[in-house]
Amino acid sequence: MRSREGKRGVMVVTLKEVAERAGVSRSAVSRTFTDGASVSPKMRRKVEKAARELGYSPNALASSLTTGRTKLIGLVSSNFHNPFFLEIFDLFTRGLQERGLRPLLVNLSGETEPENSVRMLRQYSVDGVVVASSTLPPGFAIAFREAGVPVINAFGRYASDPQVHTVGIDNVACGRTAARTLIARGYRRLAFLGGPEAATSTQDRLSGFQAEIAQAPELGLSVSFAGAYTFDAGRREMQRLLQEPPAEAYFCGDDVLSIGALSALRDNGFSVPGDVGVLGLNDMEMAGWAGIDLTTIHQPIRQIVTSSIELMGAMLDEPDRYPEARVFPCRIVERGTLRPLPEAG
């Protein structure tokens, strides 16, 4: 069998031609390009030399029939409108590819039935799934686990005894950090402007924020929610809130909401931080841009993504691995949307 013409008129080199050029069997060529297969160094050199000379590239789909693995990892999210998740997808796709895995990006915006998601991903024979979302209900990751698909819930809800592997931050602790940060700067009338009320990230950040403020009865707290983690939703909700005198400082559910809130405040003649303080969460790249300069809580996304990919690799080798939670600390990033700390003494 000789080179065949592909769909675009390009001649496709076959495995048989590589074997003939190298003077080896077709099975030897197949083993050379199969991870973990036994092949001598001398044989590997001969096959790789012949492949280079002919311009041969192994067919990944054909290889999956031999190994039983597609190396496809479903990267599932519902946050495609949030530019913060573009940073996350960039890290995930590059990190998976560096490990020889192939990301399959899946948009579940508007999806409410976990079973539909499982059915779709299984049609592609994925080896594993990363649910990279803080707004999808926990039932989505659990549904993949129950279907026997290795799954990681990245940016999911922290629990000391998780039902699935979870990598992220403790959003309750971040809420407490936000409250302490605002109180330390002398703010007394505080507000929480959260994302979707049903999102676990919103619930947990509010829970920690409220718990810390409750320890000081003299503090005031108002709570409101935006319909989504978007600029427009944050701006719209702040515009609504400004029908009344604003709070002294707002802890917003994430940076994108914060940037929308900043836009509304400035358009209505309020100085930030002179009149009103704003604190975000995530420390996305845009938060540091000139004209935004957002004081925020840093979420270590690079470490979360790297840890998620490492854990996925371990699960592919050990599918029955007991679920674990990997939690990373957050920290304040000082910029220009909060008043400075009072000087000591």
Tens digits of residue pLDDT in 294-317: 999 999 999 999 999 999 999 998
Task: Return all residues near 80 (Cβ < 8 A) that are at least 6 apart.
Answer: 107, 109
DSSP 286: G
What integer pLDDT is reported at residue 1 of this predicted model?
Answer: 42
What integer pLDDT is reported at residue 136 of this predicted model?
Answer: 81
Over 60: is that where the pLDDT of 7 sits? no
Look up the pTM and report it: 0.82
Over 50: is that where the pLDDT of 256 sits? yes
The residue ranges of every structural domain in the chain are: 4-58, 72-170+301-328, 171-299
Q: What is the mean pLDDT of residues 275-300?
A: 97
**Listed ranges 104-108, 263-267, 339-343; the one with the highest mean pLDDT:** 263-267
Select 4-58's CATH number: 3.30.160.110, 1.10.1060.10, 1.10.260.40, 3.90.226.10.
Answer: 1.10.260.40
Strand-pair category, 151-154 with 165-169: parallel
pLDDT digits (tens, 9 = 90+) for 94-126: 999 999 899 998 888 776 688 888 888 888 889
Over 60: is that where the pLDDT of 9 sits? no
Task: Work out the angle at residue 180's Cα, subtended by the Cα atoms of residues 174 and 186, and round it to the nearest 5 degrees.
Answer: 145
Over 60: is that where the pLDDT of 10 sits? no
Task: Work out the angle at residue 100's Cα, subtended by the Cα atoms of residues 76 and 133, and round it to the nearest 5 degrees.
Answer: 15
What integer pLDDT is reported at residue 80 of this predicted model?
Answer: 81
Confidence of residue 338 (pLDDT cuts 50, 70, 90): very high
What integer pLDDT is reported at residue 11 of this predicted model?
Answer: 61
Select 171-299's CATH number: 2.40.50.140, 2.130.10.10, 3.40.50.2300, 3.40.50.450.
Answer: 3.40.50.2300
Over 90: is that where the pLDDT of 239 sits? yes
